[in-house]
Chains A and B, each alone.
Chain A
């Protein structure tokens, strides 16, 4: 009987579990294992990694025998990347540019990822949200973070 993948979702899950489990076991060996009575830092992760890899194998077997798990749908990497870019922009820009400008960039990037992007409307939303977050987080809640760009903050 030729083996073929009946559920791509389960197949990918199985591979991911085996990889993550085996990886944990391998990486954990950098630390002392110890014994059951005196466990070292590697003991618990090694056990968990092994169990996870085992479950991964079971899921892999299931992916070859049953179609219950379903197929992997369309993955919109471009959309994902643009949303993640918006989050990353905040991490990178907050310190040089301050909250207000960073917030405008985050909102613009996030809006651009959507399918109903309109420049003017997004800009208004960005400015309103930037000011609102300044008033809410910095003024009202007293959080400390850079608000203006480094060259203005003196």
Chain B
């Protein structure tokens, strides 16, 4: 594919994204994203699950543009509160707290905010280009995949996702399988048989993934937050001069470049995305710094690097989702669910069958980043004031909007009842140290995985060797196995434990 195609595609994307409707929903998305990014106690997963049903009424492109905006918008909002009040609005802004808050205490909140926004925007721009460049070759490779390769790719995606991001690999794999099993409820597409439906007509199409996501994320999160009984302090906001000095910009340039690279690379990998990217970028900055002792005391590199990385990661993680149909994290799994609601089969054919959706979404991310800079810098005072909104007003609103959102999906209260069930399940799982994210990944991939598994074996007349006889499939499975084995190496196990412990402090 030549360069002119790329420009033609980007032009198509911009033309799509710039339509009045799409611009509007992009704006709504990044506005909501900033809002929930600022408010601790509600994250992008819960918000996207809650709002997904509403986007059902929109055109698929507009809906996905808005949902994507919520995700990367949350990265901006999260850093605002991290810098000003040492509260990470989002998990991916945890590291921004370290040096960003120190800068604020030294009266340099303005430059910290400005550098965070500039870093995010620069990284977003580069990451958008990377998405556009990588998408076509990846989709071309994937288009040649047979069912065996797809099955192995999904296995690798799932194992990669759980191995990197979870405390206990064994339990996370168990949760993936719990999700896979739950995903099987409903009519079996190959034989038409009803499985595990027990005469409940609402279960014929399977358990609604939105009900599961709202239950195990939004509702569980609320119960856990209420359990902690912590009171948030109300504070005053003094941002001061926003302009970073020439020295600030000079010091930040390289960290932004490095953060963008690290974030873009980690976003594409399984389990990637904003969270991992920001941690890795902070570690990189500390390593290359001439004087690492400055970190933790208001080093501007400690803001610039991770902020670039989390935004780059939030964007490049769309690549595997859009081109392969493999979600590298839960938010992308929800995006896949959203596409399926609109009857768009995720996979490499999205690019050829729905080019305006594909390129429009990518172009909208760049426009969205531009809006975010405008939204976040001049209006920072408004966002900060929102923080004084007590949680006791907030969570009943979240519960209500979850109920209404889930109801509107099918105009049936059945899914709302499923939320009750999965809220209880999610809470109990949280108590026994089982994370819900792998379950949701398995749940969404379950039906597709079974389909590819069966098709691969039908073609080869039941010969299980098909998965290792085909070179690409064998390589994918071998990588998955290596990933699993590498986790038992002491050095890697230690590194993982430290990284996860640091996340846990958040």
Chain A residues in contact with chain B, CB under 8 A? Answer: 9-10, 12-13, 16-17, 20-21, 24, 27-28, 31-32, 35-41, 43-45, 48-49, 51-52, 55-56, 58-59, 62, 68-70, 72-76, 79-80, 83-84, 86-88, 90-92, 94-95, 99, 103, 106-107, 110-111, 113-117, 121-122, 125-126, 129, 133, 137, 141-145
Contacts and interface: CB of A to CB of B under 8 A. Distances in A.
Contacts of A68: 168
Contacts of B403: 87, 90-91, 106
B466 to A, nearest CB: 10
Contacts of A20: 178, 181
Contacts of B434: 13, 16
Contacts of B390: 116
Contact of B181 (A48, A90, A129, A137): A48
10 contacts: A17-B174, A27-B196, A32-B191, A48-B184, A79-B226, A83-B399, A86-B399, A99-B404, A129-B397, A133-B400
Interface stretch (B233-241, B309-317, B346-354, B418-426): B418-426
Nearest to A99: B404
Interface string B136-148: 0000000000000
Interface in B117-131: none
Contacts of B171: 10, 13, 59, 69
Contacts of A56: 174
A55 B457 contact: no
Instruction: State the majority secondary structure of interface residues on B.
Output: helix
Contact of A45 (B181, B190, B399): B181
Interface string B148-186: 000000000000000000001011011001101100100
A126 B177 contact: no
Contact of B407 (A31, A32, A48, A94): A94
Contacts of B107: none
B505 interface: no
B173 to A, nearest CB: 6
Contact of A137 (B408, B454, B457): B408
Residue among B177, B188, B193, B223 having the largest count of chain A Cβ atoms under 10 Å? B177
A73 B181 contact: no
B170 A87 contact: no
B193 A48 contact: no
A99 B401 CA distance: 11
Nearest to B189: A41
Contacts of A99: 404
Contacts of B396: 86, 106-107, 110-111, 122, 125-126, 129
B229 A87 contact: no
A52 B177 contact: yes
B450 interface: yes
Contacts of A144: 411
B412 to A, nearest CB: 10
A78 B75 CA distance: 34
Nearest to B168: A69
Interface in B342-391: 390-391
B253 to A, nearest CB: 43
B432 interface: yes
A41 B188 contact: yes
Nearest to A110: B396
Given A129-B396, A144-B411, A49 B181 contact: yes
Interface residues of B, number: 62
Contacts of A125: 393, 396-397
Contacts of A83: 219, 222-223, 226, 399, 423
Contact of A31 (B195, B219, B397): B195
Contacts of B196: 27, 45
Contact of B413 (A94, A116, A129): A94
Contacts of B495: none
Nearest to A18: B174
Interface string B460-474: 011110000000000
B57 interface: yes
B216 to A, nearest CB: 13
Given A56-B174, A59-B170, A48 B180 contact: yes
Given A84-B423, A143-B408, 7 more contacts: A10-B432, A17-B174, A28-B195, A49-B181, A72-B432, A111-B392, A129-B396
Contacts of B191: 32, 40-41
A13 B419 contact: no
A4 B226 CA distance: 33
A84 B177 contact: no
Contact of B184 (A12, A45, A52, A75): A45
Nearest to B461: A37
Contacts of B462: 35-38
A55 B397 contact: no
Contacts of B219: 83-84, 87
B404 A91 contact: no
Centre residue among B54, B432, B450, B463 by max chain A CB count within 10 A: B432
A6 B286 CA distance: 38
B174 A106 contact: no
A133 B401 contact: yes
Contacts of A40: 191, 193
A55 B423 contact: no
A5 B444 CA distance: 34
The residue in A41, A87, A91 that gathers the most chain B C-beta atoms within 10 A of its C-beta is A87
Interface in B321-356: none
Residue from A40, A83, A145 whose CB has the most chain B CB atoms within 10 Å: A83
Contacts of B461: 37
Contacts of A110: 395-396, 399-400
Given A125-B393, A145-B407, A44 B454 contact: yes
B177 A41 contact: no
Nearest to B433: A9
A148 to B, nearest CB: 16
